[in-house]
Amino acid sequence: MNSNQLEITARIQIQKPANDVFEAIVNPEKMSNYFISKGSGRMEEGKTITWYFPEFEEGFPVDVGKTETDKSITFFWDSGSEKTEVNIELSEKSENNTLVTATEKGKEKENTPEGINWLKGNTEGWANFLACLKAYLEYGINLRKGAFDFLKEEILSNEILQVSSECEILTTRVVIPI
């Protein structure tokens, strides 16, 4: 990694065995209880799956790299102009305690204003992912449910405010309760 390249790292300890954590990440039925609304398949080495999030209509393709049961998952997904690499490492600390470390990096993610914006947004995203994973596994709570509904309003208002270059129109921000 060159000294200008940015990399995200987020960690949390979860009071569950590594197998429970691994299954909650690779199994879309479990992942839909804390992160995605649905997934097209289990995360298996060499497969391309699609994740769907409740606040977005489109799906997001995920290319699964290497997986090692109860130890690690590597995948690649679109992040602007490139695919970034995500590694999730599981380290069993003691019986029923697993340290989860998520890292994300990309060749084009450098120390520039655009790179710093990516770093801030995705660091927030991985911290949220880990907190939601912990809440689900330890307490059966879906922290993400309803947490990002405000994004639907922002997406909708942005679509409403698009203006044609051939015509001037007065627009009003419309917020539709979801």
Who wins on pLDDT, 175 or 89? Answer: 89
- Residue 138: what residue type? E
For 5-144, CATH number?
A: 3.30.530.20
Can you give the pLDDT at residue 145?
Answer: 77
| Residue written as token pair 């065995």 | 17
**105 contacts 90 by C-beta, under 8 angstroms:** no
Q: Which range among 3-7, 42-46, 168-172 has the greatest average pLDDT?
A: 42-46
What are the domain boundaries of the chain? 5-144, 148-178
The answer to whether residue 17 scores a pLDDT higher than 70 is yes
Chain segment 21-51, per-residue pLDDT in tens: 999 999 999 999 999 999 999 999 999 999 9
User: What mean pLDDT do residues 104-112 have?
Assistant: 86
Can you give the pLDDT at residue 160?
Answer: 40
Please name the residues in contact with 53: beta carbons below 8 A apart, sequence gap of 6 or more.
Answer: 36, 37, 60, 148
Who wins on pLDDT, 171 or 120? Answer: 120
pTM of the entire structure? 0.80
The answer to whether residue 68 scores a pLDDT higher than 90 is yes
